[in-house]
Structure 1
């Protein structure tokens, strides 16, 4: 189990197609501080390097979301992945 399992579980119960969470909100969900690397957009990009497994990316993917750090550098947009037909 990783800290990001809590984020995965939180995202799984979300009904909206898109939501934005501040770093502070994410830290509350995972009950831990995010690393400084979380300020980099590439740390969140779920589709950027699919071969590079990182726990925060895996949590988002398992919950069915694509994560994108926002231009403000202090929040992340989570967007539901389209379902395969």
Structure 2
């Protein structure tokens, strides 16, 4: 889905930080404490992001 699609789903704009890989990457220091990381992990997913095309795919965590 595009970032715009995701914004429609959540009902608000993504923060400007979403254009940086560190916002999406739970391996970044402290990122596992971010609200967005906790949300998709608790739902059983992880994001796969293409920043250039502003697309994100959520993969189910095994």
Shared fold, TM over 0.5: yes
Query: What aligned pairs does 1:1-85 form with structure 2 within 5 A after superposition?
Result: 21-46=1-26, 48-49=27-28, 51-52=30-31, 53-82=33-62
Q: For CA contacts below 8 A with separation 6 or more, give which structure has more relative contact order.
A: 1
Provide structure 1 residue ranges, at least 5 long, that are not aligned to the other structure: 1-20
| Length-normalised TM-score, structure 2 | 0.81
Q: Which has the larger radius of gyration?
A: 1
RMSD: 1.7
TM-score, length-scaled by structure 1: 0.62
* Cα distance in 2 for residues equivalent to 1:31 and 1:61: 20
Q: Deviations over 1:29-63 (max 9, x none)?
A: 110011110011110113x1374411111111011
CA–CA separation in structure 2 for the residues paired with 1:72 and 1:58: 24
